[in-house]
């Protein structure tokens, strides 16, 4: 029992996940593409001397640049969140959550076998995490 608790307590989860960072990166690319397109629209509106439209486009581009800067604020956190040891820690945490959830359910033979398999997965995950942390040193 004590060994199981030690396995469960190992590792910690970062506040931001690598998946969230990937999504943020996609949003940054999308916004940058929109800014590029708006720059072309701005040039066209300026050439046509549609100054109201020029002002509206500039305002929209400014808003998009602010959004882009807000997304860039997490770049350092994302760099850390996507490190292999942090990703592995999150994977182990998910397994721990699944173990706790499964142990709370009825203890049929299938449930017991599932919990045993999850503990084996967690042991493997923790061992891989230890190797990753050793390689970082």
Closest Cα partner for 65 from 21, 29, 35, 24?
35
Residues 69, 34 within the same domain: yes
Phi, psi for residue 13 in degrees, rounded to 5: -105, 135
* Nearby residues of 18 by Cβ (< 8 Å), 6 or more positions away: 78, 81, 82, 86, 87, 90
Tell me, yes or no, whether 5 lies in a domain: no
Q: What is the pLDDT of residues 90-125, one digit of tens each?
A: 899 999 999 888 887 767 888 888 888 999 999 999
Our count of domains for the chain comes to 2
Residues 99, 126 within the same domain: yes
Tell me, yes or no, whether 6 lies in a domain: no
For the entire predicted model, the pTM comes to 0.62
CA distances from 6 to 52, 66, 100, 119 (A): 65, 45, 14, 12
Q: What is the pLDDT of residues 30-71, one digit of tens each?
A: 999 999 999 999 999 999 999 999 999 999 999 999 999 999
Range of the domain at 126: 83-137
Length of the chain: 137
Residues 18, 74 within the same domain: yes
């Amino acid at each position: 029992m004590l060994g199981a608790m030690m396995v469960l307590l190992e590792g910690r989860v970062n506040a931001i996940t690598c998946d969230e960072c990937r999504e943020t990166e996609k949003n940054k690319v999308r916004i940058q593409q929109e800014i590029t397109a708006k720059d072309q629209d701005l040039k066209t509106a300026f050439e046509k001397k549609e100054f109201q439209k020029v002002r509206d486009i500039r305002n929209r581009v400014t808003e998009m640049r602010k959004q882009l800067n807000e997304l860039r604020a997490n770049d350092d956190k994302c760099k850390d969140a996507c490190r292999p040891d942090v990703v592995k820690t999150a994977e182990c945490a998910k397994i721990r959550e699944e173990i706790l959830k499964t142990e709370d359910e009825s203890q049929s033979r299938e449930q017991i076998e599932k919990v045993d398999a999850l503990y084996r997965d967690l042991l493997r995950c923790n061992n891989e995490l230890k190797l990753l942390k050793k390689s970082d040193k």
